[in-house]
Structure 1
Amino acid sequence: MAASPIRGGQAAADAALAGLDLSGYAAGRSRVWPRQRRATSRLSPYVRHGLLTLPAVWAAAAGAPAADRAKFREELLWQEYARHLYARLGPATARSLRFAEPVAVPSPVPVPAWEREPWPAEMACVATCTAELHQDGWLVNQARMWLASQYAVRAGRDWREGADRMYRHLLDGSAAANRLGWQWAVGTATGRVYGFSRQQVEARAPGLCGTCALQRACPIQDWPEVQTGARLQAPAALSGGRGWGGDSGAGPRRAELSGDPQAVWLTAESLGRGDPALVAHPQLPAVFVFDEPLLARLRLSGKRLVFLAETLAELGCEVRLGDPVSELAGRRLAVTHAPVPGFARRAARLDVVARHPWPWLRRPGTGSLRSFSAWARSAR
Structure 2
Amino acid sequence: MKKLNSVFAILASATLLLSACSSSQAGAEKTEVDDVISIVWYPNESGNDMKTSRDEIGKAIEETTGKSVEHKLTTDYAIAIETMVNDNADLAYMGAQGYVQANKGNEANKPLVVSTGPSGTLDDALYYSWLAVDVEDQETFKVNGEFSLDTVAEKSISFVSNSSTSGFVIPSSTIIDHFANNKKYGELNTEDLMEGGPLFSQVLFGNSHQGSAVNVLNGSTDVAAFCDTCVESYVDVVEGEENEVGSVYKVKKDAAEPFNRVAGKEFTLMEVTPVLNAPFVANTNVLGQEDFDKLQTLFTSDEFADNEEIFVPKDSNAAGLFFKTEEERFVPVEDAWFTPVRNLFNE
TM over 0.5: no
Larger radius of gyration: 1
Normalized per residue, the structure richer in strand is 2
Normalized per residue, the structure richer in helix is 1
